[in-house]
Amino acid sequence: MEQGIRVVIADDHPFTRYGLRVLLESDPGITVVAEAADGREAVARVLEFHPDVVVMDVRMPGSDGLWATREIQRARPGTKVLVHSQHEDDPNVMAAMRAGACGFLLKAGEVTQITRAVRDVAAGAFIFHLSDTARMRPWFDQLRTVRRDNAFPQLTPREREILNIIAIPKQTTRTAAARLGISHKRVENALTDIKTKLGATDRAELIALARAAGLGTQP
């Protein structure tokens, strides 16, 4: 895409929107195309600008981020929603993930996470940044399973098979070729195409994206 990853920022605090815009546009591959102060305005901006990703505050006055996530997934399911909140146990976060959001970030998290998160969800990954607690782990596992089946729609079924095998620890291109009954060269060519489609710079980044999306399971 000529403008790279197109993003809409939805947050009711102007200072937060400004800070997010500065962070995101520090990445030359990301363009903030619009901002919104509530959920209804976020939906309108999505319909107007057709962004790749919406960075969505889940709690806004009036029409909140949960409502907006549902509406965006209904109207433009190809748009990825990355929700953020001050609290990882916010019930609206879990509801938004079930409604189709592709990732969650804490507002108090590392500032460098936001550009990486936007790139990952735009590529089809599912991310969930929170403290590793037993209380939250069952939600993570459930949501990861649900989103895994919808990850990376730009890949062909064969490419998904190859990526899934390569993401399994200790698997190689040769074992992938043997498992699928195809040539090693065909697997290598497919990986090159997959990296291009997902915007990964090398194999390590490709595997990280695959595992973040829930791939890497035994076929």
> What one-character-per-residue DSSP string does 114-182 give?
HHHHHHHHHTT--EE-----TTTHHHHHHHHHHHHTTS-TTS-HHHHHHHHHHTSTT--HHHHHHHHT-
Quick check: 126 pLDDT over 90?
no
Sheet with 5-10: list strands edge to edge: 30-36, 5-10, 53-57, 80-85, 103-106, 127-128
Quick check: 191 pLDDT over 90?
yes
Domain boundary among 121, 148, 175: 148
- Pair 130, 80 in one domain: yes
Give the total number of structural domains in the chain: 2
Q: What sign results for the dihedral spanned by CA atoms 181, 184, 189, 191?
A: positive
Residue 219 is assigned to a structural domain of this protein: no
Residue pair 86/107 in contact (Cβ under 8 Å)? The answer is yes
Taking all residues of the chain, what is their mean pLDDT, rounded to a whole number?
A: 83
C-alpha distances (whole Å) from 57 to each of 33, 139, 147 are: 17, 20, 20
Predicted pLDDT of residue 133: 46
Tell me which residue range forms the domain holding 199. 157-212
Domain boundary among 130, 148, 166: 148
Quick check: 121 pLDDT over 80?
yes
Overall average pLDDT of the 78-88 stretch? 83
Quick check: 142 pLDDT over 90?
no
The SS3 assignment for 4 reads coil
User: What is the CB neighbour count within 10 angstroms for residue 3?
Assistant: 10
* Separation of alpha carbons 11 and 3, rounded Å: 23
Quick check: 153 pLDDT over 80?
no
Model confidence pLDDT, tens digit, residues 1-47: 446 899 999 999 999 999 999 999 999 999 999 999 999 999 999 99
Higher pLDDT pick, 72 / 132: 72
Specify the CATH number for the domain of residue 185: 1.10.10.10
Q: Mean pLDDT lowest for which of 46-50, 117-121, 148-152?
A: 148-152
Q: Mean pLDDT lowest for which of 86-100, 107-121, 129-143, 145-159?
A: 129-143
Specify the CATH number for the domain of residue 93: 3.40.50.2300
Residue 217 is assigned to a structural domain of this protein: no
- Pair 141, 162 in one domain: no
- Pair 62, 121 in one domain: yes
